[in-house]
């Protein structure tokens, strides 16, 4: 059956991801992708600390490739490392940081840790954050503490696909503490957002007024040229009349002399 084949492949991918995650704990892992290529299986590890993942002279990667070949029967596994650009918007890295802090320093200052991570996520540009810590904090009885800020969708398609969620576990002497972190990224498209376009009628009116001013200036210039030509013509006509009269007088004098 084809369906069973797909199911077995997905189970194998999940097992590979869990194995890599368990071997690279406390190294700022975000997520792991498994891709099939003609040369072999390609495993992409997204992390905030690529130096810890690689190890000295690539020892960690060499050990991982050997284990993947033996345990999961991969012919040519290729491990690539991609660095996460903005750690504040990555839910899995932030949840892992909370778990690491609680394991190191205990539950005395858990409120300060929650507020610190919350402010860091909001400063990186998130629309909303929610952190839930559940366990024996700080007393012997189990409680759940909630830290939240901003705007966060809890239902609908946006909350399923758009909101980033992550889970982590902190192992303490008093017991296990569960961490649930959800982040609403800034590039999410909400269905109830409305954008109002600005009208540009005022700019068109200003251009029309400027065109009218230019036309009036051109008309005034043409009128000034026409007046100048009329004046020159009126000045030329009386001079011509005077010349004609002088010629007549000369002709008369010549006749008398004869």
227 falls within a domain: no
> How many domains does the structure of the chain reveal?
2
Are residues 79 and 160 both part of a single domain? no
241 falls within a domain: no
Are residues 168 and 123 both part of a single domain? yes
220 falls within a domain: no
Give the per-residue pLDDT at 177: 94
Distance, CA of 156 to CA of 78 (rounded, Å): 38
Read off the CATH number of the domain in which 54 is found: 3.30.300.20
Domain hosting residue 111, numbered range: 88-184
More confidently predicted of 211 and 173: 173
Are residues 92 and 133 both part of a single domain? yes
190 falls within a domain: no
Read off the CATH number of the domain in which 172 is found: 3.30.1140.32
More confidently predicted of 175 and 237: 175
97 falls within a domain: yes
pLDDT tens for 245-255 read: 555 555 554 44
Q: Which residue among 184, 201, 231 closes a domain?
A: 184
pLDDT tens for 147-175 read: 999 999 998 889 998 999 999 999 998 88
Q: Which residue among 152, 184, 216 closes a domain?
A: 184
29 falls within a domain: yes
Residue 18 has pLDDT above 80, yes or no: yes
Question: CA of 210: how far to CAs of 219, 254, 257, in Å?
Answer: 15, 69, 74
pLDDT tens for 23-51 read: 887 788 888 888 888 888 888 888 888 88
Q: Which residue among 84, 109, 143 closes a domain?
A: 84
Are residues 39 and 123 both part of a single domain? no
């Amino acid at each position: 059956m084809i369906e069973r084949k797909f199911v077995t492949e997905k189970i194998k991918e999940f097992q590979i991801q869990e194995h890599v995650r368990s071997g690279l704990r406390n190294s700022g892992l975000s997520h792991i992708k498994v891709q099939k290529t003609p040369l072999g299986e390609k495993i992409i590890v997204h992390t905030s600390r690529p130096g810890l993942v690689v190890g000295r002279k690539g020892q960690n990667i060499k050990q991982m490739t050997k284990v993947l070949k033996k345990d999961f029967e991969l012919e040519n596994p290729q491990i690539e490392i991609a660095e996460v650009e903005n750690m504040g918007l990555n839910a899995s890295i932030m949840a892992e940081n909370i778990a690491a802090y609680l394991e190191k320093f205990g539950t005395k200052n858990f409120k300060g840790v929650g507020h610190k991570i919350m402010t860091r996520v909001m400063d990186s540009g998130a629309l909303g954050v929610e952190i839930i810590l559940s366990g024996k904090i700080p007393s012997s009885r189990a409680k759940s503490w909630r830290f939240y800020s901003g705007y966060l969708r809890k239902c609908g398609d946006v909350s399923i696909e758009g909101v980033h969620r992550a889970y982590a576990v902190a192992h303490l002497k008093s017991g296990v503490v569960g961490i649930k972190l959800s982040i609403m990224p800034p590039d999410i498209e909400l269905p109830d957002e409305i954008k109002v376009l600005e009208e540009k009628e005022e700019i068109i009116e200003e251009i029309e007024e400027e065109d009218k001013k230019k036309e009036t200036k051109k008309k005034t210039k043409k009128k000034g040229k026409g007046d100048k030509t009329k004046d020159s013509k009126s000045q030329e006509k009386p001079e011509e009349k005077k010349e004609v009269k002088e010629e007549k007088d000369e002709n008369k004098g010549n006749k008398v002399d004869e």
